[in-house]
Structure 1
Amino acid sequence: MSKLCNEFHVFFNDLVSNGFNTLLTSLPKDRQYFASGVPGTFHDRLFTESSLHFAYTNYTHHLLSKSPEEIQDKDSPAWNKGRIHYTNAPKEVMEAFATQFAEDATNFLGARAKELAPGGMLVITMQEVTSYLNCTTVSLFYYALEVTKLVEENWYLSIQRMELTDPPPWLKRKRHISVPNFITHVRATLEGIFSSHFGDEITDEMFQGLVKQISSKIEELVSKHREKTQLLVVLKRKVLGMCTA
């Protein structure tokens, strides 16, 4: 009897501006899988139809594809006065961000539904961001409701699991967090967004100031991460025929 050999191909995705060489050279040489880097935004199609068996996005799905145009229009009720967050903003600003999020989430789920093979799984983990960090994000409660509605509209996907879970064990166990190290992780995610809007110099000053700001709130930050502040969503591609647009 011949031995069945299972082969795995792992695709790493990030924006075109990401340094894929650093990622690919850090992969273990004795890995038991093939690896590729795929540049592009996950709000659009990245792979051929029915080619993925498992897709996973971790702490990234709250990022918007762009700032809503109306918040930059001084003649619009949703003008956000030059700010890039909606903390304490008028309801029109909140609605503009919510509309943009719904559009992005629709595009994301539609793209993954086409790329997943029948029976394939899509797993999303998303973290709540506390208000004092002033990050552009959507609350987990709103996100859960929005995903539920969008999945119901996209009849190729079904919800297998959706629940609040604890943050990563290493973070939950920590009693003390190095603020500079924490900001380094935040910067790795957000620096490109800020630099494209404001330039490198002011972005560097902003992250240095953020270290001082977070240092005074570190205990609150740690306590928040010990609660159920992570949303887990597991979706499955239904075993149905699919029409190509």
Structure 2
Amino acid sequence: MSDQFYAMNGGDGSQSYTKNSSLQVYFNDRTSNDFNTLFALLPFERQYHAAGVPGSFHDRQLPMASLHFAYSSCTLHWLSEVPKEVMDHLSPAWNKGRILYYGDKKEVFNAYAHQFAKDLNSFLKARAQELVFGGLMALIFPCEPNPIKDISNILYLHSELLGSCLIDLAKKGLFDAAKVDSFNLPVYFTHPNELKALIERNEDFDIERMEILNNSTKHLTTNSKLFTGFIRALYEGLLKVHFGSEIMDELFKTYEEKVEESALLFSPNENSMITFVLLKCKRIS
């Protein structure tokens, strides 16, 4: 399901919504998304028109000044690409043996942070062209607490376990170990101070509101099978492209076993927080 949508009021373009207004809602996701499933799940009695807009949200997707409201929920931590430096064995940021920026290698962390800043700016520039002057955009980000003083404290156990499973399968000879060194997850979790500074650096939006939302510090499930299914749904597409589909069942069987042996599902995720930001477009198209 897409968790991006853009709304445009039809008719005379007025932003005052009445029962006679014609409201058009655009759902955005990558071209691989199953839009038919999305549309089948929309309420039959909805009071709006719906359309799908396939394509990356880092790029412009709609005509100039055609939107009054845009919304993105827990999506912008996905990067447009893995930072090139972390896959270059000649770079100080080479992320050998790991699939994310956990650990004490500052160069890897900085490469991810730089890519996030670049991608967020591209997203804001694209939406600023699509929104009318004064249009609103609501964004929800999964975040880390701020400030991050010691990067060695960064720990994403769910991805560290996944990385260890890949290493185990490489040791079994299912693929070359170099494949693990060249695989990294394209995700980055910002923190509120960093996020605020990056938005303020962009000249197309004003921050109308920004706050930390109440968020449970515990995982949604203590069932290792359900949790493994959740992680598989998140990352299997990326893993298939890089390692092939043949190893997926064994990979996630191994992952489930490691989750059961770890304290992952029984420890509160104290580093998890959700940040809400409401922006107003000040770009005059």
CA distance 1:13–1:180, shift in 2 (3 Å): farther
1:6 maps to 2:54? no
Q: Percent of aligned pairs with the same residue?
A: 40
1:32 maps to 2:47? yes
Which residue, 166, 189, 197 being the options, matches 1:149?
Answer: 197
Shift of 1:27: 1.6
Shift of 1:9: 1.2
Shift of 1:136: 5.5
Q: Secondary structure at the match of 1:224?
A: coil
Shift of 1:187: 3.1
CA distance 1:42–1:192, shift in 2 (3 Å): same
1:52–1:116 contact (8 Å) kept in structure 2: yes
Which residue, 215, 219, 225 being the options, matches 1:180?
Answer: 225
1:8–1:34 contact (8 Å) kept in structure 2: yes
- Code of the aligned partner of 1:12: F
CA RMSD of aligned residues (A): 2.7
Aligned residue for 2:252?
207
Shift of 1:95: 1.2
CA distance in 2, matches of 1:78, 1:98: 12
Judge which range, 6-15 or 148-157, deviates more: 148-157
Q: TM-score, normalised by structure 2?
A: 0.71
CA distance 1:212–1:51, shift in 2 (3 Å): farther
CA distance in 2, matches of 1:181, 1:157: 40
Which residue, 125, 130, 138 being the options, matches 2:188?
Answer: 138
Which residue, 204, 218, 236 being the options, matches 2:265?
Answer: 218
CA distance in 2, matches of 1:94, 1:86: 5
Which residue, 105, 108, 111 being the options, matches 1:90?
Answer: 105
Query: How many corresponding residue pairs?
Result: 231
Q: Secondary structure at the match of 2:136?
A: strand
Q: Secondary structure at the match of 2:239?
A: helix
Shift of 1:12: 1.1
> 5+ unaligned residues in a row in structure 2: which ranges?
1-17, 145-154, 160-184
Aligned residue for 1:235?
279
- Code of the aligned partner of 2:62: F
CA distance in 1, matches of 2:132, 2:74: 24
- Code of the aligned partner of 1:219: F
Shift of 1:140: 4.0
Shift of 1:89: 4.7
CA distance in 2, matches of 1:181, 1:7: 41
1:140–1:231 contact (8 Å) kept in structure 2: no
Q: TM-score, normalised by structure 1?
A: 0.82
- Code of the aligned partner of 2:284: G
Judge which range, 201-210 or 83-92, deviates more: 201-210
CA distance in 2, matches of 1:140, 1:88: 16
CA distance 1:26–1:198, shift in 2 (3 Å): same
2:85–2:111 contact (8 Å) kept in structure 1: yes
1:167 maps to 2:182? no
1:86–1:136 contact (8 Å) kept in structure 2: no
CA distance 1:77–1:39, shift in 2 (3 Å): same
Shift of 1:4: 5.8
Q: Secondary structure at the match of 2:269?
A: helix
Q: What CA deviation, in whole Å up to 9, does each residue of 1:54-83 have, x standing for no partner? A: 111111110111111111111111111153
Aligned residue for 2:147?
none
